[in-house]
Amino acid sequence: MIINNSHANRCAVFRKGRLRTFTVGGIHPDDNKLAAGSPLQTLPPEGTATVFLDQHIGAPAAAVVSKGERVKTGQLIAKAGGFVSANIHAPVSGTVLAIEPAADIAGRRQPAVVIRVEGDEWLETIDRSPDIVRELPTDSTVIIRKIADAGIVGLGGAAFPTHVKLSPPAGKKAEILIINAAECEPFLTSDHRVMLEFGEQALIGALLLKKALHASKAFIGIESNKPDAIRRLQHIIQENGYGLQVVRLKKRYPQGGEKQLIDAVVRRQVPSMGLPVDVGVVIQNIGTALAAYEAVQKNKPLIENSITVTGKSLPRQINVLARVGTPLSKLAALAGGVPGDTGKIVCGGPMMGKAVVNLEAPTTKVTSALLFIPFREARRKEASNCIRCAKCVKACPMGLEPYLLVKLAQRGMHGELKANRVYDCIECGCCLYSCPAYIPLLDYIRMGKLRVRG
């Protein structure tokens, strides 16, 4: 379904080689990739690790260890609470201090396993050598089982259990796998560093995912502001003859949204309230691909991830490979401490990340960034009257009318909200970002969505 390809075509003329992008809405925020040049550094575990039992979409995991028990790094500590759920493993070795609620980034208490770090003794089954294992398992069910065992979830932020996504419902087939390496959120560079430093491993992971799905094609979508990553992955693919194809994308937010990425890469549009598999596509994040490689080829469960620690006033812009359960304050300290002009701390990117009230909260499997926003940029300006400039309509990547949805939500007109497809909103924040009157459009739309859902 081609709606408006003219912009992509125009870019093609200027840049030699086609840059693809999605066809509805979108914005161009400053990308502020301040930490792009900073290699991943490993943060050795120390102190305590607090591991939440509910780090994914679906049922929380159930703890299988007890207080006082000694655990090794990589050992299963909580079992998936159903098919749509995920295993959780000890990210460190040491003694289980408690199984009790701990405060998350918003200050809410969530059940967690607290482990006191003692040394770093790994489970013997985990292959910790740096050698790259290129030979894929012949059986695709082995791949899915190992991914489920390793507790892998979508690392793009949704935290949806990966093994569920790799098992499409009966009658539906995913012929195309798209690896999401767009990293369209400003400031975030952790996926970028993964591609530069673990490029081949991530690509083998992509091949594993492709095989698990029995997909005939696999694309890797990368925005053009990461030319070194594009070159590196293309080089590896060529050298090894991997069945993968890099797709260069125009820098535009929210390119990494599932629906937008499918539109950009294969020009298909997921039906309203549908799933990507309805148009024959499954999307996996590049970080998930790396985790899949480690799980299947190295027997290593998902116990660490790459996190960008950044902000305009931060002394050091860094990318860290940190164990799950590391307190955010430790990441902040590694980057030189909380800057004096900090007005807001965000876990994730500036467009979809969550505000942090508790810096002692631990990281989870899907923590992608810790962002420090200076005071002068942190405060929203006071809202004034809507001047009907239609910038929100132009920006909405789902083709909705945010100004109208807000009015309908304020008046509680549920039927009209449904008729105007409020449930399609992906909460990307483009409308609020673009509004010259600083109306909290997305806040009202979220309210409307909740009401419609009942």
Partner 1 sequence: MNNTNHTPPAVPPAENGERRLLLISPAPHAHSSDTTHRLMRDVIIALLPAFAASVYFFGWDALRVAAVSIISCVALEWAIQKFLLRTPPQISDLSAVVTGLLLAMNLPGSAPWWLVVIGSIVAIGIAKMSFGGIGKNPFNPALVGRVFLLISFPVQMTHWTLPRGFAVTDAVTGATPLAVLKEGLSNGLTVEQIFDKADFTYLELLFGRIGGSAGEVSALALLAGFAWLLFRRVIRPHIPVTILATVAVFGGILWWANPGRFIDPLFHLLTGGVLLGAVFMATDYVTSPMHPKGMVIFGVGIGMLTMLIRVFGSYPEGISFAILIMNAAVPLINKYTKPKRYGKEVKHG
Nearer to partner 1, 142 or 452 (CB): 452
Tell me the window of 75-83, 84-92, 266-274, 297-305 that interacts with partner 1 (CB under 8 A): 266-274
Report the residue from 98, 133, 136, 413 that binds partner 1 according to the rule CB under 8 A. 98
Burial grade of 79 (CB within 10 A; 0-12, 13-18, 19 or more): middle
Q: How far is C-alpha 241 from the chain's CA centre?
A: 28
Residue 428's CB is within 10 A of a number of other CB atoms, namely 25
Q: Does 287 bind partner 1 (CB under 8 A)?
A: no
Q: Does 221 bind partner 1 (CB under 8 A)?
A: no
Q: Does 82 bind partner 1 (CB under 8 A)?
A: no
Q: Residue 354 in 3-state DSSP?
A: strand
**Unique residue bearing structure tokens 């301040």:** 34
Q: Does 118 bind partner 1 (CB under 8 A)?
A: no
Rounded Cα gap, residues 377 and 130, in angstroms: 43
The minimum distance between CB 363 and partner 1, in angstroms, equals 13
Q: Does 194 bind partner 1 (CB under 8 A)?
A: no
The minimum distance between CB 336 and partner 1, in angstroms, equals 12
Report the residue from 19, 27, 230, 246 that binds partner 1 according to the rule CB under 8 A. 27
The minimum distance between CB 395 and partner 1, in angstroms, equals 9
C-beta separation of 195 from 171 below 8 A = no
Query: Which helix (H) or strand (E) is 181 found in, with range?
Result: strand 176-181
Burial grade of 137 (CB within 10 A; 0-12, 13-18, 19 or more): middle
To 10 degrees, the CA torsion angle through 319, 323, 324, 329?
A: -60
Tell me the window of 68-76, 124-132, 209-217, 382-390 that interacts with partner 1 (CB under 8 A): 382-390
Burial grade of 115 (CB within 10 A; 0-12, 13-18, 19 or more): buried
Nearer to partner 1, 108 or 214 (CB): 108
C-beta separation of 271 from 282 below 8 A = no
Tell me the window of 38-46, 220-228, 235-243, 333-341 that interacts with partner 1 (CB under 8 A): 333-341
Instruction: Report residue 265 as tokens.
Output: 């890469």
Residue list 390-419, contact with partner 1 (CB under 8 A): 390-391, 393-394, 396-401, 403, 418
C-beta separation of 80 from 64 below 8 A = no
Rounded Cα gap, residues 188 and 347, in angstroms: 11
Report the residue from 246, 356, 408, 417 that binds partner 1 according to the rule CB under 8 A. 356
Q: Does 283 bind partner 1 (CB under 8 A)?
A: no
The minimum distance between CB 177 and partner 1, in angstroms, equals 20
Q: Does 284 bind partner 1 (CB under 8 A)?
A: no
Q: Does 315 bind partner 1 (CB under 8 A)?
A: no
Report the residue from 277, 302, 345, 409 that binds partner 1 according to the rule CB under 8 A. 345
DSSP 145: H
Rounded Cα gap, residues 327 and 232, in angstroms: 33
Nearer to partner 1, 216 or 384 (CB): 384
Rounded Cα gap, residues 105 and 367, in angstroms: 11
Rounded Cα gap, residues 356 and 358, in angstroms: 6
Nearer to partner 1, 132 or 355 (CB): 355
Nearer to partner 1, 233 or 398 (CB): 398
Report the residue from 37, 82, 227, 274 that binds partner 1 according to the rule CB under 8 A. 274
The minimum distance between CB 253 and partner 1, in angstroms, equals 10
In Å, what is the CA distance from 294 to each residue of 131, 152, 257? 11, 10, 25
Residue 101's CB is within 10 A of a number of other CB atoms, namely 13
Q: Does 386 bind partner 1 (CB under 8 A)?
A: yes
Report the residue from 358, 407, 413, 449 that binds partner 1 according to the rule CB under 8 A. 358
- The number of residues that bind partner 1 (CB under 8 A) is 88
Residue 271 one-letter amino acid = P
Nearer to partner 1, 199 or 397 (CB): 397
Q: What angle do CA 410, 350, 266 make, to 5 degrees?
A: 90
Tell me the window of 85-93, 98-106, 290-298, 316-324 that interacts with partner 1 (CB under 8 A): 98-106
Q: Does 175 bind partner 1 (CB under 8 A)?
A: no
